[in-house]
Chain A
């Protein structure tokens, strides 16, 4: 008995060590180091407990200020800056994946401890800060009774909302603080199970095509591949007719989409698979190439085989393409916005801000910050740098970033924090005379 207790303790130590990452490995960039697959009997789970901000704010680079623009929201996810500068915030939580295995029953409540306990808002909140002083003088519920709204886009008098089960649109005129018409359905979106429920959304520069990111229905096919039909894909939807085609496949969980301003190309951040080790598989930022297969579930980072998926599909793996830019394993990238019209200037002129919700599947947490990836000529040009940090402390998580939105008119970056239910506004500090 003593021996077996010791061996269990030893195994636990070995497992804990396995969940730790090797700092010598380069986890980011176009060619990240990809260590060997390391599956452990117990997946490393490190869920940081929420502590709240207690009057503190995120840390931003010198020359910037950060303020809480809205608090006490109901799980803010993605945001949209409307043509008149009003800000819409999609709030809610979706998914209705039933627990099928003992693991689902055990791991589910553990992961929930790292999230807010607030009820899903299922609504859009509108903020107006007409004098751009960082305080919203108007805050209203713009639309209510939505079904886990997430992706937002504006085209030509309509606000498009990607609910977890359908793309809908709501007519809008400048100055409106409440929707006056019920949402109209543009097209249904895959919603069975909705293990990854978030439907990301953006619109092409010409306003003709809506792009919807649809996440997979499992980590790696453990609910069977039949439920993965039209999952882990990006849809392109014709705005006029509602007709859709599948633009890219094998992109496990495309949690945010945005148009790169110099080329007009669609870019995505995507969350990769878990339980292959603390430094596998990197979440990524990539241009969404027409017809491309990004590997999920059969392979990762191009043609690296995932040993857990059977039957294997070497024919598909042979066609898999590697994404453009690794953001680091398990960072949980959920937000993407490009700096437009010169961004903040200086080091933040051309590039993308990335909201990283933070990891659970490794012992040393990753993510929990807003990162900046510099671009030149419409392509990433250097390693990611921290833009907003301080979401994680030794005591736990003060917040977890989700959506990010850059407003070129006011030169502000908005960050949705779905743990403290706050919208952070980051702006260049006013020069005091």
Chain B
């Protein structure tokens, strides 16, 4: 039996993936709670959405910063294209998520409305794309190998 040790590189990749899991999951559940609010006008659903978006932004912000550092470190390598896509998705996700957090801070129906739902959907799509790229290994050069 061969024992393997987890190298620094894999640990970092794993941690990045875990962090990225948060915005991917939280924004996506936020879409569901937004829909639940629009269907029922029950305040608890928009309250859920607001906390989900807040949590997604905290971890999404860390992930975006991480992704930017990774991009800068790989500017001269062949994997930079995937890292540009990953960082672009996360940066846009964070910006739209911030707007969405303010949108969701409005009172009652205005906390979601059509704009809130659209922003939630866009944020969750961007988070899923970024998480997919990172976890698939594309932005770590696994595809090229």
Residues of A near any B CB (own CB < 8 A)? 1, 4, 8, 39, 41-43, 100-103, 218-224, 275, 297, 307-311
Contacts and interface: CB of A to CB of B under 8 A. Distances in A.
Interface stretch (B1-9, B27-35, B100-108): B100-108
A105 to B, nearest CB: 10
Contact of B102 (A41, A222, A224): A41
B42 A224 contact: yes
Interface string B94-137: 01000101110111111100000000000000000000000000
Given A41-B106, A275-B107, A308-B110, 13 more contacts: A8-B95, A41-B103, A42-B105, A43-B105, A102-B101, A103-B50, A103-B105, A218-B107, A221-B108, A222-B108, A308-B106, A310-B41, A310-B108
Contacts of B67: none
A94 B44 CA distance: 25
Interface centre among A41, A223, A307, A308 (most CB of B within 10 A): A41
A221 B43 CA distance: 9
A4 B54 CA distance: 20
A103 B104 CA distance: 9
A296 B59 CA distance: 39
A222 B43 contact: yes
B24 interface: no
A310 B109 contact: yes
B47 interface: yes
B109 A41 contact: no
Contacts of A220: 107-108
Interface centre among A100, A220, A223, A310 (most CB of B within 10 A): A310
A275 B99 CA distance: 17
Contacts of A4: 91, 95
* Chain B interface bracket (under 10, 10 to 19, 20 to 34, 35 or more): 20 to 34
Contact residues of A: prevailing secondary structure: loop
15 contacts: A4-B91, A4-B95, A101-B47, A101-B51, A102-B54, A102-B105, A220-B108, A221-B107, A221-B108, A222-B107, A222-B111, A223-B43, A297-B108, A307-B109, A308-B106
Contacts of B101: 102
Contact of B107 (A41, A102, A308): A308
A311 B41 contact: yes
A296 B99 CA distance: 29
A411 to B, nearest CB: 44
Contacts of B108: 220-222, 297, 308-310
Nearest to A5: B95
Contacts of B54: 102
A264 B130 CA distance: 69
Nearest to A227: B43
Contacts of A8: 95
Interface in B40-73: 41-44, 47, 50-51, 54
A221 B47 CA distance: 13
Contact of A42 (B41, B102, B110, B111): B102
Contacts of A275: 106-107
A102 B50 contact: yes
Nearest to A37: B110
Contacts of A297: 108
Contacts of B110: 39, 307-308
Interface centre among B43, B44, B50, B111 (most CB of A within 10 A): B43
